[in-house]
Amino acid sequence: MTTATTTTDATDVSSGSVLLTLMKLRTFIALFAVIAFFSIFAPNFLSTANIILMSKHVALNAFLAMGMTFVIITGGIDLSVGSIVGLCGMVAGGLILNGIDLQFGFTVYFNIVEVCLITLAVGVAIGAINGLLITKLNVAPFIATLGTLYVARGFALLSSDGQTFPNLVGKPELATTGFAFLGSGRVLGLPVSIWILIVVALAAAYVAKYTPIGRHIFAVGGNERAARMSGIRVDRVKMFVYMFSGFCAAIVGLVISSELMASHPATGNSFELNAIAAAVLGGTSMSGGRGTIGGTIIGAFVIGILSDGLVMMGISSFWQMVIKGIVIIVAVVVDQAQRRLQQQVTLMQLAKKG
Amino acid sequence: MHPGKDDACVLRLEDVTKVYSGIVAVRHANLALRRGAVNVLVGENGAGKSTLMRIIAGVEKPSIGRILMDGEEVEFHSPADAQRHGIGMVFQELNLFGNLSVAENIFATREIMRGVRGIDHRAQVEKANHFLDKLDAGINAETLVEDLPIGQQQLVEIAKAISLDTRILILDEPTSALSAAEVDVLFKVIGELKAQGVAIVYISHRLEELMRIGDYITVLRDGQITGHAMVRDIDTKWIVRSMIGSDAKDFAKSVDHRLGEEIFRAEDICLPRKTGGLAVDHVSISVRAGEVLGIYGLMGAGRSEFFECVMGQHAHSTGSIRVGGVEVAGRDTSRRIREGLALIPEDRQREGLVQALSIASNLTLASLDRFVRFGFHIAGERERSAIKSAIRDLSIKAPNPDFEVTSMSGGNQQKVVIGKALMTEPKVLLMDEPSRGIDVGAKADVFRTMRRLAGEGLAILFSTSDLEEVMALSDRIAVMSNGRLVAVIDRRDATEELIVKASAEGHKTTRELAQ
């Protein structure tokens, strides 16, 4: 080791730095690579209509991936988001179609804004349950959220006996119309769901960088003991990230049922895996302490463009799974290589300074 | 120091030096281990005892020097290699698998097999019980190690070493978790092994024990052997003198300043140990503003635990704490920090720093509330200027505060931890072994900072197991032993001997109680 550092000259250090910069930008490079590839090989890939359609697909995963990013940065995992999507869709659909039956002949209906707020509250509440299980009852995040995955999915299926809530147009006299706006409305030419994504992503990025809770999220994931010793309320931080993850999942539940104008209890099955993949692809470290919202969004775009582009090229969906898996593995391998290279470059810089 | 042509010498280290990246842990050590005798090794923390023993046990290889066994040069490439040569070691930190049974632990890597039918568990348990009975341990070899109290785990470790049937047995602080009765049994076993011709290396901080069991004594200081003698020729005074030496280290001169009002008072702090008994045993102490109180004690004396109780890290600790005459109401760490207490933890890597964050983020981690505008926004300007002044005040050598904290040396990392604590603007600063694992220059910086802070009216409690340090830095010296506060001595009246004696006090009384 000592001989290696003494014989390395300036060119080696700089070539190491170039390689390091390339690796740091890998998610960007991957994004440009998939865009370039499909604009050549997939017809109509760069048409405005296609781009907007793809963005809408990507947005769904991006919401979940943002929530997942915070959770993973604290060193946890949230497997329940897919089920929360399903349950929240059913909650929204059920409230619009049937209201709440109070058992003695009365049924309460909510207007569409209230329905959305209640649905979001349900998502946050399930996140809170995850958080309580993990902080107060000391259940490992993997197990706690695996449990709520089943419970939430079960309730989603129970709510309609496994049936779909169809045709969520609502009734004007109950003020339950207008649900379609979320999924298919447009503002200034962009779909509403994209606008919501922009707002939530900016807010999340702001929280991560400029607020104490954001700093605390990184500290808890980086070294939970040191965070506790520094007076950070670790339990509160964890509650926050799981509740935010639930909130993001509820948004996705609303958007999907609004797009389809129907709620199906199996919606969101295995969405959690796509969200984890996007976060990891975007540079979030599964061991906690590292990750960015921007990286995660780009990761979600890479995965989304990859699957949509492969569909447009007419490649079998079985091959798509293989390709997606390989991309994720390569991403993590490069991540590890970057970590090692980074350490080497830092050591060399220290050695050069003497 | 050369024992000459001594037949009794089973293993000899000749001119052994061990260098870690930049630090010389052992320099030019000559050591002879005699068979059928207890070879005692003493020295302060970091004097190089453990390194020397790790070389003998094959864990480390010497940078320079030779190991001679029965007059022939040998080289140990691994602990297994050393074991083949008949060397067994009981490490200070227990190396046991908590999830396995006692018997499985004792026979790990040399399981008794029945050919293809796998491990002969019954034979293992039988043999393990035989060794445990020798130690009067009263442990069933089938219990899981994690279900045993720490003292019994230590006995398991010893039984494991004995079962190796060694010619050289190294015991690194074997009694740190043992009760008086267990120590007596251990000494009896050591006596038997001695009679069988085994060479025993015994490392301990408890001078009393050394005088009782040792035959030959070797003293280490700063990686060098500073004294070698027969135990019967010497007394504790000689040991202390050889341990400390006369050359003074670079300590900041104590600036004379008037002490203020009493600002910190802890009363009746108790913390039950998981395995029974009290880790902190009714400790009461008070400190005045501008005063530096040094808490001296050996490993496991309960110093860290006491600090953790003060910071509200243990929910089940009892007792009351006052800061500035007002009883601290908050039970958790974040409220205690707000009420003017701050801790610099002993283990920098595990408890002090968030390695993934930058130098700057680490500095402000505990005090972000100070820089917040509108209740949620961190004002970048204010944070940056605070970071800049902290880096200047503590002379942290940070080329760029946005670099990761791990890119700095240990001493500078320690300064970051100190800076983090100071940024919470505490009235009382607790420092747990503030000079551990940092180089001499950084040490001097840390000591200067401590004096400066005291001059500014901060009350400082620091713990150390370095005699010289506690003598040089403290206004008053408290000695803890076995969870109890056994003595509080004014700096003017303190002598090294008095402190060393007091630090073994807690164990003596338990022994008297046990009889």
Specify the pLDDT at position B6: 53
Does B356 contact A222 at a Cβ distance shorter than 8 Å? yes
Is B206 found in the same domain as B99? yes
Is B458 found in the same domain as B409? no
How far are the Cα atoms of A340, B279, B404 from residue A5, in angstroms, in the given order? 15, 47, 21
Q: What pLDDT tens digit does each residue of chain A (354 aa) get?
A: 333 433 334 445 456 677 777 777 888 888 898 899 998 888 888 888 888 889 999 999 999 999 999 999 999 999 999 999 999 999 999 999 888 877 777 888 888 899 999 999 999 999 999 999 999 999 999 999 999 999 999 999 999 998 999 888 888 888 888 888 888 888 888 899 999 999 999 999 999 999 999 999 999 999 999 999 999 999 999 999 999 999 999 999 999 999 999 999 999 998 999 999 999 988 898 888 889 999 999 999 999 998 888 888 888 888 888 988 898 888 888 888 887 887 777 666 655 554
Whether B347 is covered by a domain: the verdict is: no
Is B451 found in the same domain as B417? no
Cβ atoms B476, B291 nearer than 8 A: yes
Give the span between the Cα atoms of B53 and B13, in whole angstroms. 11
Give pairs for B398-404: CB < 8 Å, separation 24+. B398/B359, B399/A353, B400/B359, B401/B358, B401/B359, B401/B360, B401/B363, B402/B358, B402/B359, B402/B360, B403/A346, B403/B358, B403/B359, B404/A346, B404/B355, B404/B356, B404/B357, B404/B358, B404/B359
Q: Rounded to 10 degrees, what is the CA torsion of B484, B490, B495, B499?
A: 10
pLDDT over threshold 90, residue B61? no
pLDDT over threshold 50, residue B258? yes
Domain count, chain B: 3
Residue A166, CB half-sphere, CA atoms under 13 Å: how many?
1
Is B235 found in the same domain as B137? yes
Does A231 contact B366 at a Cβ distance shorter than 8 Å? yes
- Which residues have CB under 8 Å from A344's CB, separation 6+? A16
Give the span between the Cα atoms of B126 and B148, in whole angstroms. 19
How far are the Cα atoms of A296, A303, B494 from residue A336, in angstroms, in the given order? 17, 20, 55
Parallel, antiparallel or unpaired: strands B64-69 and B72-74:
antiparallel
SS3 readout for B217-269 = EEEEECCEEEEEEEHHHCCHHHHHHHHHCCCCCCCCCCCCCCCCCEEEEEEEE
* pLDDT tens, position by position, B311-346: 988 888 888 899 988 888 888 888 899 889 999 988
Q: Which of B20, B365, B371, B424 to mutate to test the interface with A (most CBs of A within 10 A)?
A: B365
Task: List the domain boundaries for chain A.
Answer: 48-337
B220 in contact with chain A, both atoms CB, cutoff 8 A: no
Enumerate the residues of chain A whose CB falls inside 8 A of the CB of residue B355. 222-223, 289
How far are the Cα atoms of A169, A197, B203, B443 from residue A180, in angstroms, in the given order? 7, 17, 77, 68
Give the span between the Cα atoms of B139 and B131, in whole angstroms. 10
Which of B332, B376, B420 comes nearest A230 by C-beta? B420
Neighbours of A107 (CB within 10 A): 10
**Where is the domain boundary, B216, B244, B272?**
B244
Specify the pLDDT at position B19: 74
Cα angle B96, B100, B104; round to 5: 85
Enumerate the residues of chain B whose CB falls inside 8 A of the CB of residue A6. none
Does B424 contact A210 at a Cβ distance shorter than 8 Å? no
Kind and range of the H or E run holding B124: helix B121-134
Give the span between the Cα atoms of B462 and B430, in whole angstroms. 6
Mean pLDDT of B298-316: 85
Give the span between the Cα atoms of B3 and B33, in whole angstroms. 10
Residue B283, SS3 per DSSP: strand
Q: Which residue has the higher pLDDT, B162 or A246?
A: A246
pLDDT over threshold 80, residue B44? no
Whether B4 is covered by a domain: the verdict is: no
Give the span between the Cα atoms of B246 and A90, in whole angstroms. 80
Give the span between the Cα atoms of B254 and B37, in whole angstroms. 45
Mean pLDDT of B247-272: 74
Which of B368, B380, B424 comes nearest A215 by C-beta? B368
CATH number at residue B212: 3.40.50.300
Residue closest to B16 by CA, chosen among B222, B204, B217, B224: B224
One-letter identity of residue B501: K
Give the span between the Cα atoms of A202 and A195, in whole angstroms. 11
Whether B348 is covered by a domain: the verdict is: no
A340 in contact with chain B, both atoms CB, cutoff 8 A: no
Is B272 found in the same domain as B227? no
Cβ atoms A159, A90 nearer than 8 A: yes
pLDDT over threshold 80, residue B407? no
How close, in Å, is residue B186 to chain A by CA atoms?
A: 37
How close, in Å, is residue A47 to chain B by CA atoms?
A: 41
Specify the pLDDT at position A16: 64
End-to-end CA separation in angstroms for chain A: 15
How close, in Å, is residue A170 to chain B by CA atoms?
A: 39
Neighbours of B173 (CB within 10 A): 21
Give the span between the Cα atoms of A270 and B326, in whole angstroms. 55
**Where is the domain boundary, B198, B217, B244?**
B244
Cβ atoms B449, B361 nearer than 8 A: no
Whether B166 is covered by a domain: the verdict is: yes
End-to-end CA separation in angstroms for chain B: 40
pLDDT over threshold 80, residue B250? no
Q: Supply the DSSP symbol for B60.
A: S
Is B138 found in the same domain as B16? yes
Is B165 found in the same domain as B77? yes
Q: Is the alpha carbon torsion for A40, A44, A47, A51 positive or negative?
A: negative
B412 in contact with chain A, both atoms CB, cutoff 8 A: no
Which range of residues forms the domain containing residue B451? 249-340+426-515
B382 in contact with chain A, both atoms CB, cutoff 8 A: no
Cβ atoms B350, A225 nearer than 8 A: yes
Residues 45-74 of chain B whose Cβ lies under 8 A from any Cβ of chain A: none
Kind and range of the H or E run holding B511: helix B505-514
The answer to whether the complex's ipTM is over 0.95 is: no
Residue B242, CB half-sphere, CA atoms under 13 Å: how many?
21
Specify the pLDDT at position A352: 58
Is B156 found in the same domain as B83? yes
Give the span between the Cα atoms of A9 and B431, in whole angstroms. 42
Is B330 found in the same domain as B222? no
Q: Rounded to 10 degrees, what is the CA torsion of B449, B455, B459, B460?
A: 30
Mean pLDDT of chain B: 83
Residue B466, SS3 per DSSP: coil
Is B210 found in the same domain as B173? yes
A233 in contact with chain B, both atoms CB, cutoff 8 A: yes
Is B115 found in the same domain as B31? yes
Whether B345 is covered by a domain: the verdict is: no
Residue A235, SS3 per DSSP: helix
SS3 readout for A279-332 = HHHCCCCCCCCCCCHHHHHHHHHHHHHHHHHHHHCCCCHHHHHHHHHHHHHHHH
- Which residues have CB under 8 Å from B335's CB, separation 6+? B312, B328, B329
Where b means 16+ CB within 10 Å and e means fewer, B350-375 reads: ebbbbebbbbbbbbbbbbbeebbeee
Does B365 contact A215 at a Cβ distance shorter than 8 Å? yes
Q: Count Cβ–Cβ pairs < 8 Å, chain A vs chain B.
A: 83
Enumerate the residues of chain A whose CB falls inside 8 A of the CB of residue B351. 225-226, 229
Kind and range of the H or E run holding B321: strand B318-323
Specify the pLDDT at position B248: 46
Q: Where are the alpha helices (DSSP H) in chain A?
A: 2-7, 10-24, 26-41, 48-73, 81-97, 112-135, 141-160, 180-184, 192-210, 212-222, 224-229, 234-260, 271-281, 293-312, 317-353
Which of B351, B377, B399 comes nearest A226 by C-beta? B351
CATH of region A48-337: 1.10.3470
Give the span between the Cα atoms of A281 and A334, in whole angstroms. 10
Whether B268 is covered by a domain: the verdict is: yes
Cβ atoms B461, B430 nearer than 8 A: yes
**Where is the domain boundary, B367, B390, B425?**
B425
pLDDT over threshold 50, residue B512? no
Is B126 found in the same domain as B38? yes
Burial of B433 (0-12, 13-18, 19+ CB in 10 A): buried
